[in-house]
């Protein structure tokens, strides 16, 4: 019998879609997949070579639990130079990004503490909060996904401990302005909360500018900044990222890391070390994502019955629709009738929406979105 805690955790929203897609593929059908939230590129060769060379040199052992010092120092330097966050190695813990989110919550919340989530949110957040015995309080945003802080105050209770969000946003592609983030920071300070700022898409900003709230002096000890290598460097399989926070939080998270994963994989830490020197590949991949974004946006705009917030970052578009069916029916129907995979919006907190990941080839985008267009012509 599994624990009641685990029984309450949802499987990934894309699992049933992937199962169905596997069936169709086995039947010889071509699938247009906009479901996968990962770059289709292979990790840059120099990064792979450096990691493998390090392994061949014998760097295949446990590392210090918080990460190899050279990498923690380099991440601290990156935080200073790029994010304007005043960090030292002792403010950095190296671990996979999704695990950082778990470590952050495990380190700051007691069972029953509340975490505010602006909606739409990254699909895993509510389950990560549940897993760490917190309670999710979703807060609505407006039609441009801006937060209303006066309205948000109503959601704060004596049990509210943290506010968690990602910027650029998965699933909407929203990039928050410095002004909005300064207002958010005032709200955090006023209510004495922690801010978990998931910045995993920080390098994929096409419009507007990345701003890290942890760079605001008063927010330094209140912000847990989480980021990683998966999206910027096409390194999803290496399972490597980091969290940056005040030292006592890093110390707490490090204890949990020691008793769970011990340390991040040594070979991936060396890959990350090399990745931080590789600004060219990020720029090349970003330029290609931007072309795909433009193509996706222009094609979706042509489809009657769909609305779209123009994504400014990450690699997602999140169209809304007004047809009668709910979003999981829509996703299943699109797969059945047009062999197109999208992710339903409900698990992101937004029904009557679906998410398109455009981290796929321009040919797939052209054919797949024209199929979505054909589908909506026939549905009302
Ligand atoms: N945060 C967000 C917003 C994400 O989209 C993802 C990956 N889809 C993660 C965290 C987890 O990243 P990783 O796979 O590197 O752990």
pLDDT in tens, 147-171: 999 999 999 999 999 999 999 999 9
| 19 confidence band (pLDDT: 50, 70, 90) | confident
Residue 230 has pLDDT above 70, yes or no: yes
Assess whether 296 and 364 both reside in one domain: yes
Q: How far is the CA of 27 from the centre of ligand 1 (A)?
A: 31
Residue 79 has pLDDT above 90, yes or no: yes
**352-368 confidence digits (pLDDT tens):** 999 999 999 999 999 99
**Residue 18 CB neighbour total at 10 angstroms:** 14
Q: How far is the CA of 200 from the centre of ligand 1 (A)?
A: 7
State the closest ligand 1 atom to the C-alpha of 230, by its place in the atom list counted from 1. Answer: 15
The closest residue, in CA terms, to atom 5 on ligand 1 is: 170
Residue 146 has pLDDT above 80, yes or no: yes
Does the residue 226 lie in any domain? yes
**Residue 334 CB neighbour total at 10 angstroms:** 24
- Quote the pLDDT of residue 14: 66
Does the residue 323 lie in any domain? yes
Distances (CA, A) of 268 to 53, 200, 225, 248, 377: 12, 17, 20, 26, 47
- Quote the pLDDT of residue 36: 85
Q: How far is the CA of 57 from the centre of ligand 1 (A)?
A: 31
Does the residue 272 lie in any domain? yes
State the closest ligand 1 atom to the C-alpha of 228, by its place in the atom list counted from 1. Answer: 15
| 5 confidence band (pLDDT: 50, 70, 90) | confident
- Quote the pLDDT of residue 20: 77
Does the residue 54 lie in any domain? no
Residue at a domain's end among 278, 304, 338: 278
Assess whether 206 and 123 both reside in one domain: yes
Residue 53: cis peptide before it, omega within 30 degrees of 0: no
pLDDT greater at residue 35 or residue 21 = 35
Share of the chain above pLDDT 90, in %: 90
Determine contact, residues 343/13, Cβ cutoff 8 Å.
Answer: yes
Determine if ligand 1 sits within 6 Å of the CB of residue 98.
yes
Residue 255 dihedral angles phi and psi, to the nearest 5°: -60, -45
Determine contact, residues 251/271, Cβ cutoff 8 Å.
Answer: no
Determine if ligand 1 sits within 6 Å of the CB of residue 95.
no
Assess whether 94 and 203 both reside in one domain: yes
Assess whether 223 and 338 both reside in one domain: no
Assess whether 189 and 314 both reside in one domain: no
Does the residue 52 lie in any domain? no
Segments in the chain forming alpha helices (H):
4-7, 15-26, 45-56, 69-78, 97-108, 125-131, 149-153, 178-190, 247-259, 266-275, 279-301, 327-338, 362-378
Assess whether 221 and 309 both reside in one domain: no
Assess whether 329 and 262 both reside in one domain: no
- Quote the pLDDT of residue 162: 98
**88-113 confidence digits (pLDDT tens):** 999 999 999 999 999 999 999 999 99
Q: How far is the CA of 239 from the centre of ligand 1 (A)?
A: 10
Q: What average pLDDT does the chain have?
A: 96
**Six-digit token string for 157:** 């209770």
Does the residue 216 lie in any domain? yes
Determine contact, residues 33/361, Cβ cutoff 8 Å.
Answer: no
Pocket test for ligand 1, best of 228, 235, 237, 347 (most atoms within 8 A of CB): 228
Assess whether 288 and 324 both reside in one domain: yes
Q: How far is the CA of 302 from the centre of ligand 1 (A)?
A: 30
Assess whether 223 and 122 both reside in one domain: yes
The alpha carbon dihedral of 102, 108, 109, 114 has a sign of: negative
- Check which CATH number belongs to the domain holding 226 and give it: 3.40.640.10
| 4 confidence band (pLDDT: 50, 70, 90) | confident
Residue at a domain's end among 223, 247, 278: 278
State the closest ligand 1 atom to the C-alpha of 201, by its place in the atom list counted from 1. Answer: 3
Assess whether 26 and 106 both reside in one domain: no
- Quote the pLDDT of residue 22: 82
Assess whether 271 and 328 both reside in one domain: no
Determine if ligand 1 sits within 6 Å of the CB of residue 100.
no
Assess whether 74 and 180 both reside in one domain: yes
Mean pLDDT of 216-225: 98
Domain count, the chain: 2
Does the residue 319 lie in any domain? yes
Three-state DSSP at 307 gives strand
Pocket test for ligand 1, best of 37, 97, 201, 224 (most atoms within 8 A of CB): 97
Domain that holds residue 74: 61-278
- Quote the pLDDT of residue 380: 65
């Amino acid at each position: 019998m599994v624990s009641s805690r685990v029984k309450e955790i949802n499987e990934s929203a894309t699992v049933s879609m992937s199962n169905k897609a596997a069936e169709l593929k086995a039947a010889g059908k071509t699938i247009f997949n906009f479901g996968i939230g990962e770059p289709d590129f292979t990790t840059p060769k120099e990064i792979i070579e450096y990691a493998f060379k390090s392994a061949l040199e014998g760097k295949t052992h446990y590392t210090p639990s918080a990460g190899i010092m050279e990498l923690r120092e380099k991440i601290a330097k990156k935080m200073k130079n790029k994010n304007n966050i005043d960090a030292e190695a002792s403010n950095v813990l190296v671990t996979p990004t999704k695990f950082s989110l778990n470590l952050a919550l495990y380190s700051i919340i007691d069972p029953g503490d509340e975490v505010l989530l602006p909606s739409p949110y990254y699909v895993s957040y509510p389950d990560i909060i549940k897993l760490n015995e917190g309670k999710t309080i979703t807060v609505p945003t407006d039609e441009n996904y801006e937060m209303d802080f006066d309205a948000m105050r109503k959601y704060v209770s004596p049990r509210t401990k943290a506010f968690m969000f990602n910027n650029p946003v998965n699933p909407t592609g929203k990039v928050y302005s410095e002004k909005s983030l300064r207002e958010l920071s005032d709200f955090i300070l006023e209510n004495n909360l922690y801010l978990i700022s998931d910045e995993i898409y920080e390098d994929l900003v096409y419009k507007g500018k990345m701003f890290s709230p942890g760079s605001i002096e008063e927010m330094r000890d209140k912000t847990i900044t989480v980021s990683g290598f998966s999206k910027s460097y096409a390194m999803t399989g290496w399972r490597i990222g980091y969290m940056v926070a005040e030292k006592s939080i890093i110390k707490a998270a490090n204890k949990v890391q020691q008793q769970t994963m011990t340390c991040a994989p040594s070979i991936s830490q060396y890959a990350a070390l090399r990745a931080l020197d590789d600004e060219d590949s990020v720029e090349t991949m970003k330029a290609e994502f931007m072309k795909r974004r433009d193509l996706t946006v222009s094609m979706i705009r042509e489809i009657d019955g769909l609305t779209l917030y123009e994504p400014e970052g990450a690699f997602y578009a999140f169209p809304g629709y007004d047809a009668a069916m709910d979003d999981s029916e829509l996703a299943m129907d699109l797969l059945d009738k047009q062999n197109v995979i999208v992710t339903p919006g409900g698990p992101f907190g937004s029904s009557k929406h679906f998410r398109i990941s455009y981290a796929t080839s321009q040919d797939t985008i052209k054919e797949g979105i024209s199929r979505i267009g054909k589908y909506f012509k026939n549905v009302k």
